[in-house]
Amino acid sequence: MTMPALVVMGVAGCGKSSVAQAIADAIGGTLIEGDAYHSDDNVAKMSAGEPLTDEDRAGWLARLAALLAEDIAHGRVPVLACSALKARYRDVLRGGAQGLGFVFLDLTREAAAARVAARPHHFMPASLIDSQFAALERPSDEACVFTADATLPIADIAAQAVRWMQQMPGWPTQSADMPKALSA
Ligand SMILES: Nc1ncnc2c1ncn2[C@@H]1O[C@H](COP(=O)(O)OP(=O)(O)OP(=O)(O)O)[C@@H](O)[C@H]1O
Ligand SMILES: O=C(O)[C@H](O)[C@@H](O)[C@H](O)[C@H](O)CO
């Protein structure tokens, strides 16, 4: 089955936005920054140090699934940065893109906390890191998942992910020419 789109997933601070951007640049894909689609209520909740519930995330995930479907319908290859912490959240996203691939950025709690604490102006407080790990269901036995060591340099993670996508059956030939920056 063709992999029509990719989600870069994991807990806060794992590098979703940075890696998704690097992959989108490498394959000529379209970046979707999932955090930009949280409701004001969700952002206010996280800013106040309260974890989101399944209910809080439901509308957000449905919107992201619709965005994936829309991009694919327009012939684009979306690369979505989205926490997608639970298996059922990933299923909602798959609803917008059958055969959706996932790059899971694996990071320890300590490393995630250090990264989030180092950017105090972001809406996500470091106090929410424990709740991120409590919610996380690792996508170990799901289809089309590449797990990356999130402590590697961003360009290396992106290069590994692009190589993984390129060996997936039916991956569009447009990604066959890997930019020099990622081919080392
Ligand atoms: N592989 C990496 N090595 C070192 N630092 C990184 C790496 N990836 C990301 N970072 C840094 O960690 C911080 C979080 O990165 P980024 O915003 O990409 O993560 P994120 O998962 O999208 O976070 P969030 O969802 O919480 O916004 C940034 O300061 C970024 O520069
Ligand atoms: O599902 C969630 O709890 C959220 O998407 C969080 O993961 C944050 O939005 C993100 O990581 C920003 O720090």
32-55 residue pLDDT tens: 999 999 999 999 999 999 999 999
176 Cα–ligand 2 center, Å: 32
Burial 142-163 (b: 16+ CB within 10 A, else e): eebbbbbebeeeeeebbbbbbe
Q: What pLDDT is recorded for position 2?
A: 67
- Ligand 1 centre distance from Cα of residue 17 (Å): 7
CATH classification of the domain holding 119: 3.40.50.300
| Residue 96 within any structural domain of the chain | yes
**How many domains does the chain divide into?**
1
Domain that holds residue 98: 6-183
| Stretch 125-149: mean pLDDT | 95
Determine the distance separating the centroid of ligand 2 and the alpha carbon of 36, expressed in angstroms: 10
User: Is 102 within the bounds of a domain?
Assistant: yes
**Is residue 92 within 8 Å of 61, Cβ to Cβ?**
yes
Q: Quick check: is 111 in a domain? A: yes
| Residue list, ligand 1 pocket, CB within 6 Å | 12-18, 35, 81, 115, 119, 124, 150, 152-154, 157
Confidence of residue 171 (pLDDT cuts 50, 70, 90): low
| 141 domain-assigned | yes
| Three-state DSSP state, 109 | helix
**Amino acid code (one letter) for 154:** I
Is any ligand 2 atom within 6 A of the Cβ of residue 81?
Answer: no
Give the atom of ligand 2 at the shortest distance from the alpha carbon of 84.
Answer: 1
User: How many Cβ atoms are within 10 Å of 133's Cβ, its own excluded?
Assistant: 16
**Residue 1 domain flag:** no
Q: Let me know if residue 136 belongs to a domain.
A: yes
Residue of higher predicted confidence among 151 and 181: 151
ipTM of the complex: 0.95
Pocket test for ligand 2, best of 9, 35, 63 (most atoms within 8 A of CB): 35
Q: What confidence score (pLDDT) does residue 1 get?
A: 53
Evaluate whether residue 123 is within a structural domain. Answer: yes
Lookup: tokens for 121: 């102006």
